[in-house]
Amino acid sequence: MAFIDQIKSLLGLKEAGKDDNAVSFDKKLAAAALMVHVIAADGIITRDEEDRLSAVLKEHYTVSDAEAETLFNAAKLAQNDAVDIYRFTSILKSEMDESERLALVEDLWEMVYADGEVHEFEDNVVWRVAELIGIQARERMVLKQRVLARRS
């Protein structure tokens, strides 16, 4: 049983198949797990970070409050069990088009700035994820500046 199928089973969700809903959930779970990885990079997940993650999931991944909570809990489990981020980035690189991958990097920057403090570990996670999903350094920095400008 694949790791994502195990997470779905733990949460009482349908087994992954080849249907669009399974692929969509896999993408959402992988993206959420990377966001959790960013907010956990400094060793502390604050309420502000949790709230921002929930808001991003609802805004960009079109999920309800309950689905956002389920996805957040599944993402924490997935992120805690992951040896590295490749498991998530490989799903996203194959399942997302370029505009979705750019939006994901922007979402990751939202996580970096969610608690009002930028930690080098968080910045490094965004850099590694962007590289693994095919987003160039210039694009990554433009997205960082966009998020920073919004927060100022």
- Predicted confidence (pLDDT) per residue in 80-118, tens digit: 888 889 999 999 999 999 999 999 999 999 999 999 888
Signed CA dihedral, 94, 103, 36, 85: sign only: positive
CA-based end-to-end distance of the chain:
45
pLDDT given for residue 2 in this prediction:
55
Is the distance from CB of 23 to CB of 30 less than 8 angstroms?
no
Mean of pLDDT over the chain:
87
3-state class (DSSP) for residue 53: helix
Give the fold, CATH level 3, of 3-8+19-151.
Answer: TerB-like (1.10.3680)
For residue 54, what are the contacts with CB-CB under 8 A and spacing of at least 6?
65, 68, 69, 72
- Predicted confidence (pLDDT) per residue in 17-74, tens digit: 444 445 556 899 999 999 999 999 999 999 999 999 999 999 998 899 999 999 999 9
Q: Is the pLDDT of residue 10 over 50?
A: no
